[in-house]
């Protein structure tokens, strides 16, 4: 099967794709607006010349995907240094050089898998191929850049039952081929789209798609073992897009697809360059329990993600403020209401009120509420 229209790029494509980026004026205008917005507004040619020179210096020598990602790593490290108060991780004993299907919660457009790849990179393990929706690939440069960074394309807007089955079958075949034939690990979100409401729920449909290519040749249990299915959990102390998510996406309803996609690029940039507080990544144990169907598997992955989500003071504070507003009890708040952490959190929603404020607090509080529900359902 030909996967060339959706696959991440291969080593032999790297030099030509970097050349394409070097000649893409839209790409350097985008980068200049990100890094030097004021200069690019008044002296666009100067800003874009400087950015292009920097890009060529960093990446023109790359001949392989590994070389490209090695050149990219210092930028990821700089992002962590400049926009977080630290990146921590746990469960690293569950990392392996065996090809692995990582299924994770999804909070940021581009960074969730980037943090996993950075962890794998510093542990001298192979990085993952990343599932990314085609709605995020507005403009040739976005697709080229993502596929150079081991992303592969997931089609979102598919019309018709036959076309849907064809594209999902092809995607499933590519993912399983990557894992079992090319020895490449995969990261994919537990559901389509980000958990904008703070609920890290697993969509059974994603698992059905993943298993689709193997359902006639392998039992579900054998397939799970073959792909070393491993849940991963990313937890951000602060979400750079929290107020946008709280207000919802109604403002996009009258927009064209092109305009929405451009807004997604803006959101991607916000996630990368704006403050995130502390970030924690947990690698769960590979799924080893026997499951009878994809629904049970979805429930198991969801439980692993919810119970291993790292709870920050911002989460406790949001839950406590909600309980106060709703005049209900909330006992498990270890954060002093007079602390600097509470003050910093409250500053984030100063512009919100009414339903928007309630939703803002719920976005932060839901992981804790879901974790407590999961604990109660498990019992002592």
Residues 245 and 365 in one domain: no
Residues 83 and 213 in one domain: yes
The verdict on residue 40 lying in a domain is no
Give yes or no for a contact between 141 and 149, defined as CB atoms under 8 angstroms apart: no
Q: How far apart are the first and last CA of the chain?
A: 50
pLDDT given for residue 341 in this prediction = 84
Domain containing residue 186: CATH number: 3.40.1130
Question: What does pTM read for this prediction?
Answer: 0.93
pLDDT given for residue 251 in this prediction = 60
Residues 166 and 261 in one domain: yes
Residues 199 and 142 in one domain: yes
Residues 192 and 283 in one domain: yes
The verdict on residue 23 lying in a domain is no
The verdict on residue 45 lying in a domain is no
Residues 353 and 267 in one domain: no
The verdict on residue 330 lying in a domain is yes
Residues 342 and 245 in one domain: no
Residues 256 and 319 in one domain: no
pLDDT given for residue 380 in this prediction = 46
Burial category of 301 from C-beta neighbours within 10 Å (exposed 0-12, middle 13-18, buried 19 and up):
buried
CA distances 230 to 92, 125, 188, 305, Å, are 12, 16, 11, 10
The verdict on residue 35 lying in a domain is no
Domain boundary among 242, 265, 299: 299
The verdict on residue 219 lying in a domain is yes
pLDDT given for residue 168 in this prediction = 95
pLDDT given for residue 378 in this prediction = 58
Residues 103 and 230 in one domain: yes
The verdict on residue 179 lying in a domain is yes
pLDDT given for residue 258 in this prediction = 65
Residues 95 and 215 in one domain: yes
CB within 8 A of 77, min separation 6: which ones? 118
The verdict on residue 27 lying in a domain is no
Residues 211 and 326 in one domain: no
177: enclosing H helix or E strand:
helix 161-180
Domain boundary among 244, 266, 299: 299
Residues 115 and 239 in one domain: yes
Query: Number of folded domains in the chain?
Result: 2
Q: Quote the domain boundaries for residue 72.
A: 61-299
Mean pLDDT per 10-residue run, the chain (380 residues)? 95 97 93 89 93 96 98 96 97 97 95 97 97 81 94 88 93 98 98 93 97 96 97 97 86 62 77 94 97 96 97 92 74 63 90 93 95 73
Residue closest to 311 by CA, chosen among 286, 334, 342, 344: 334
Domain boundary among 237, 271, 299: 299
Note the residue count of the chain. Answer: 380
């Amino acid at each position: 099967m030909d996967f060339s229209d959706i696959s991440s790029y291969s080593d032999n494509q790297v030099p030509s794709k970097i050349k394409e980026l070097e000649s893409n004026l839209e790409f350097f205008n985008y980068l200049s607006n990100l890094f030097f917005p004021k200069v690019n507004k008044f002296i666009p040619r100067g800003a874009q010349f400087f950015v292009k020179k920097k890009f060529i210096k960093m990446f023109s020598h790359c001949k392989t995907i590994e070389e490209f990602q090695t050149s990219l790593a210092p930028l990821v490290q700089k992002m962590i240094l400049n926009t977080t108060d630290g990146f921590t991780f746990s469960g690293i004993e569950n990392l392996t050089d065996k090809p692995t299907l990582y299924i994770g919660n999804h909070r940021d457009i581009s960074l969730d898998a980037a943090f996993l790849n950075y962890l794998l990179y510093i542990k001298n393990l192979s990085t993952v191929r990343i599932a990314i929706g085609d709605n995020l690939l507005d403009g040739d440069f976005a697709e080229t850049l993502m596929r150079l960074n081991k992303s592969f394309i997931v089609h979102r807007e598919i019309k018709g039952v036959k076309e849907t089955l064809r594209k999902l079958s092809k995607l499933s075949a590519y993912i399983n081929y990557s894992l079992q034939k090319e020895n490449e690990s995969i990261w994919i979100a537990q559901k389509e789209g980000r958990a904008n409401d703070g609920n890290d729920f697993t969509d059974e449909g994603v698992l059905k798609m993943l298993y689709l290519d193997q359902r006639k040749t392998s039992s579900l249990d054998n397939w799970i073992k073959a792909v070393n299915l491993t849940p991963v959990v990313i937890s951000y102390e602060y979400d750079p897009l929290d107020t946008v998510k709280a207000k919802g996406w109604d403002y996009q309803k009258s927009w064209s697809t092109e305009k929405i996609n451009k807004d997604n690029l803006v959101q991607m940039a916000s996630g990368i360059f704006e403050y995130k507080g502390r970030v924690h990544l947990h690698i769960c144990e590979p799924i080893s329990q026997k499951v009878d169907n994809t629904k049970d598997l979805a429930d198991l992955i969801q439980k692993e993600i919810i119970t291993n989500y790292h709870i920050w003071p911002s989460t406790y504070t949001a839950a406590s403020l909600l309980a106060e507003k709703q005049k209900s009890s909330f006992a498990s708040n270890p954060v002093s209401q007079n602390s600097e952490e509470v003050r910093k959190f409250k500053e984030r929603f100063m512009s919100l009120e009414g339903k928007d404020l309630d939703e803002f607090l719920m976005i932060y509080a839901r992981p804790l509420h879901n974790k407590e529900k999961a604990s109660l359902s498990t019992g002592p």
